[in-house]
Structure formats: structure tokens, C-alpha cells
């Protein structure tokens, strides 16, 4: 993997998620190469060959947060903060150190067990939380859609270790792939180690987008009977498939007193 430098781009950026004003991507590009990733629609480099890191990262991040009051910063919006290069470059760890020293906290989303390396820093920031995302219950299917990401086993083990250390945890089941993702079985797997479980549907915007083209090609090769169904379901939040699944999960939530955040 070639790692290039990025000199002038802002590190701290506005965040559109609930409860967060700002987000930081320590890397530009993501080695996990999930074929459904929305960030693939706006890539600047070939993520399979090159990612970028910010030059003078600590100095610039410290300056950029200096005008803010302490708050929780989201990490994991357009790239995974714990992708393989983090073992070498430690950009995410450096960002967490800056936050901890400045009275900030971080809400981190990852697919990697490497996140447990930084438990010491999360412990210093009690407002922090750590989540893992997953979307497939079978390893073989997972590998079709998430080329280089770590296994579910690694992610769930990370959740377990974080929870035992007293760090607030969450799971993001995303994207729910119609007729492929078994949401209920994934909830059962992660619920013991997650304070909250978020569930987001597969949401495609345009047939021209790279992520849709990737998904369509995987379906054509492996689940041919699903391609036409996806053309209808993945582009419409009103489709009966989502309504029925939503209802089923709401029933499960009240029956088992689960803390689910259903966004289907």
C-alpha cells in the first residue's frame, strides 16, 4: 500500500450525524475496500493501491480544535480509523491523544480489533464510545462484499474487550442487505457486548455510483436471482421489504427490551 501525504485539507470537518458537530478522518482512503461503501463514490486515489495521511497531523489538529469548547468528535465517517496502516502510522492514536489532552472525547467506528490497543486512551475520556460495524453472518458472503476487512469474530471480540474495560460500546448493523443480512441473528450475536445497536438499510442513490456497480456485479455473479429485487429495494426507503423488517424489529425490541435504533 502506497501512503502519500496530504498537505492542505482541513482535518476537522462538519459531521452530519446525530449528536456530533465535527468528525475527523485520520486517513483519506480505506484499505478495507468494502464494495458497498458510499465513500467509494467520491474517491481521490485508488484505495486498493494508495491512501493519504495528513502532514503535521498533531500540530494542525491541535490548532483546528483550539477554537472549540470540549466536545465529542466522531471518527470513522469516510475511512476506517483502524485500517492496517494505523499499525505503522498511528494517526488515530495521535488524534485520541490530542483529544484526551484537550478535554475532548471521541466516538469511534471501526471494523478492526486494533481499536483495543487504545483502551488506555478511551479510559481517559469517559464521554467516549466505540462501535463496530457488521452486515453479514456468514464469513464466505462477508468476504464477497468486504474484500479486506477483518472477520466478524475479530470485531465482536473487540467489543467484548472494550465492554469488559468499561468503555461504552455500540454496534452498527450496516448496510442491511435484503435477503442476505440476517439482522436478528446479528443482534443476538452483538447485544451482550453493545450498549446500543444501530440498524441502517442498504441505501443506494444512483445506478451510476461505484458502490451500486460493485454490488450489482457481486449479485450477478453470486446471487443472480436478487439483482432485480435489489434494483427496487435498495433505491427506495418506502419499499414493503423495509416496512416489514422495521415492524419485525420493533416487535423484537419490545419483546426482548433491546436498545435498538432502527433506521430502515
The footprint of ligand SF4 (CB under 6 A) covers: 30, 32-34, 37, 39, 79-80, 111, 149
CB of 85 to ligand SF4, least distance (A): 12
Strands (E), the chain: 2-6, 12-14, 22-24, 27-28, 50-54, 72-75, 105-110, 129-134, 169-176, 196-201, 260-263
CB nearer ligand SF4, residue 23 or residue 79:
79
Q: Would you state the cell numbers that stand for residue 18, as one nine-digit string?
A: 446525530
The CA-based angle 96-42-242, given to 5 degrees, is 90
CB of 152 to ligand SF4, least distance (A): 13
DSSP per-residue codes, 90-113: -HHHHHHHHHHHHT-EEEEEES-G
> What's 147's DSSP letter?
T
Q: How many other C-beta atoms can be found within 10 angstroms of the C-beta atom of residue 251?
A: 10
CB nearer ligand SF4, residue 39 or residue 191:
39
Sequence-separated (6 or more) residues with CB below 8 Å from residue 74: 15, 17, 20, 22, 23, 24, 106, 107, 108, 109
CB of 251 to ligand SF4, least distance (A): 29
CB of 237 to ligand SF4, least distance (A): 20
Sole residue written with cell 480509523: 81
Q: How many other C-beta atoms can be found within 10 angstroms of the C-beta atom of residue 4?
A: 12
Q: Would you state the cell numbers that stand for residue 92, as one nine-digit string?
A: 488515530
CB of 104 to ligand SF4, least distance (A): 22
CB of 254 to ligand SF4, least distance (A): 31
CB of 78 to ligand SF4, least distance (A): 6
Helix 240-256 × helix 183-190 angle, to 10°? 30
Amino acid at each position: 500500500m502506497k501512503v502519500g501525504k496530504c498537505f492542505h485539507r482541513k482535518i476537522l470537518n462538519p459531521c452530519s450525524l446525530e449528536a456530533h458537530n465535527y468528525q475527523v478522518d485520520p486517513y483519506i482512503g480505506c484499505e478495507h475496500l468494502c464494495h458497498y461503501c458510499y465513500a467509494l463514490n467520491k474517491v481521490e486515489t485508488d484505495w486498493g493501491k494508495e491512501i493519504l495521511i495528513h502532514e503535521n497531523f498533531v500540530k494542525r489538529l491541535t490548532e483546528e480544535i483550539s477554537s472549540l469548547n470540549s466536545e465529542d468528535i466522531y471518527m470513522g465517517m469516510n475511512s476506517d480509523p483502524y485500517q492496517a496502516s494505523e499499525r505503522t502510522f498511528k494517526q488515530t492514536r495521535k488524534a485520541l491523544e490530542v483529544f484526551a489532552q484537550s478535554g475532548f472525547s471521541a466516538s469511534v467506528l471501526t471494523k478492526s480489533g486494533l481499536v483495543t490497543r487504545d483502551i488506555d486512551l478511551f479510559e481517559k475520556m469517559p464521554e467516549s464510545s466505540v462501535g463496530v460495524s457488521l452486515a453479514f453472518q456468514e464469513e464466505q458472503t462477508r468476504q464477497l462484499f468486504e474484500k479486506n476487512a477483518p472477520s466478524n469474530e475479530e470485531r465482536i471480540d473487540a467489543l467484548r474487550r472494550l465492554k469488559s474495560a468499561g468503555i461504552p460500546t455500540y454496534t452498527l448493523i450496516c448496510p442491511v442487505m435484503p435477503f442476505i443480512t440476517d439482522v436478528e441473528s446479528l443482534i443476538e450475536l452483538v447485544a451482550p457486548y453493545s450498549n446500543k445497536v444501530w440498524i441502517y438499510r442498504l441505501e443506494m442513490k444512483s445506478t451510476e455510483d461505484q458502490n451500486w456497480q460493485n454490488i450489482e456485479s457481486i449479485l450477478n455473479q453470486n446471487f443472480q436471482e436478487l439483482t432485480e429485487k435489489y434494483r427496487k429495494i435498495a433505491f427506495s426507503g418506502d419499499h414493503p421489504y423495509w416496512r416489514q423488517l422495521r415492524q419485525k424489529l420493533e416487535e423484537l425490541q419490545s419483546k426482548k427490551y433491546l436498545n435498538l435504533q432502527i433506521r430502515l
